[in-house]
Amino acid sequence: MKLVFAGTPEVAVPALDALIASGRHEVAAVVTRPDAPAGRGRRLVASPVAERAEEAGIEVLKPLKPRDPEFLERLTEIGPDCCPVVAYGALLPRAALDIPAHGWVNLHFSLLPAWRGAAPVQHSIMAGDEITGASTFLIEEGLDSGPVYGTVTEVIRPTDTSGDLLTRLAFAGAGLLAATMDGIEDGTLKALPQPAEGITVAPKITVEDAQIDWAAPALRVDRVVRGCTPAPGAWTTFRGERLKLIQVTPVPERTDLAPGRMAVGKNSVHVGTGSYAVELLWVQAQGKKPMRAADWARGVRIAENETLGG
């Protein structure tokens, strides 16, 4: 088939690579978000998908919005049979959805109908799921509600951050998306409607969502830290300033600390929660680089009975 691939961030690159390498289909063009300011100089930088496509000599389309007439005209001229999508980041209008004969097929990082929305991996970790995966489905105008072509599953490991899990799903999902294109092309794959039961939604995680509630159980604190790492980053406050929490670990044997109360040992920093304590392993103070929590504690000279989170 002739394909036009749509995607933007680094997590979409493995799928683009898989489609280029398959040799079975032609990636005629790539659709991605416009260049965005990045770094201290705020200079415009192309998306990871745009950079990879340019390396491969593939035409790159960067519409401000997918409903732009110039974009729709160029897409019609290319005449794709199918448009595979991974984390493109913009809403596709009906005028665009109708152009390819086999529609737009999205790789979504959950086992649909669970975790429809922008942040499925973060929500699956924060909810304490043991299994997640990726799904390919035909895009409709609803939110991730279209019929599903295929899935792959992935175990969520006890120490997984959303970054860890998303990296594994990006590569497993790349193979799934390539196989889905093959099945659509040879007619062996049929999309099946999603079940009406088990629907959960995964909106974008806000900075407010990432604030630690020390009255919550230790497992919840651990899941929020892992789910919000690397972005937007879990945080609390210390002496009125924000402190980023990069890694913690539950300490079930320690139950003597009130929520938020800190206890500093020679090489450890324990904090009370609504159940038992957690140990802070890596933190990042405002304006500082990430550091081991024990080193941070020595540097700020924590007093007895000091707390996190006000």
pLDDT of residue 240: 94
Return the CATH number of the domain spanning residue range 207-300: 3.10.25.10
How far apart are the C-alpha atoms of 5 and 19, rounded to whole Å?
9
pLDDT of residue 178: 98
Name the segment(s) of the chain with CATH classification 3.10.25.10: 207-300
Helix or strand run (H / E) with residue 105: strand 104-108
pLDDT interval class at 38 (50, 70, 90): confident
Q: Which residue intervals of the chain are DSSP H helices?
A: 13-22, 48-55, 69-78, 94-97, 120-126, 162-186, 218-227, 293-300
- Architecture label for domain 2-186: 3-Layer(aba) Sandwich (3.40)
Give Rg (Cα) of the chain. 22
Ligand-binding site membership of 19 (annotated):
no
How far apart are the C-alpha atoms of 5 and 16, rounded to whole Å?
7
Indicate the pairing of strand 43-45 with strand 2-7: unpaired
Find residue 272's DSSP bridge partners.
259
Buried b (16+ CB within 10 A) or exposed e, 172-187: bbbebbbbbbebbbee
pLDDT of residue 41: 84
The predicted-structure confidence for 129-177, as pLDDT tens digits, reads as follows: 999 999 999 999 889 999 999 999 999 999 999 999 999 999 999 999 9
DSSP, res 25: S
Ligand-binding site membership of 113 (annotated):
yes
The predicted-structure confidence for 120-140, as pLDDT tens digits, reads as follows: 999 999 999 999 999 999 999
Per-chain mean pLDDT for the chain: 97
pLDDT at 53 over 90: yes
The predicted-structure confidence for 69-122, as pLDDT tens digits, reads as follows: 999 999 999 999 999 999 999 999 999 999 999 999 999 999 999 999 999 999
pLDDT of residue 227: 98
Ligand-binding site membership of 112 (annotated):
yes
Name the segment(s) of the chain with CATH classification 3.40.50.170: 2-186
The predicted-structure confidence for 277-289, as pLDDT tens digits, reads as follows: 999 999 999 999 9
pLDDT at 310 over 80: no
**The one-letter amino acid at 260:** G
pLDDT at 188 over 80: yes
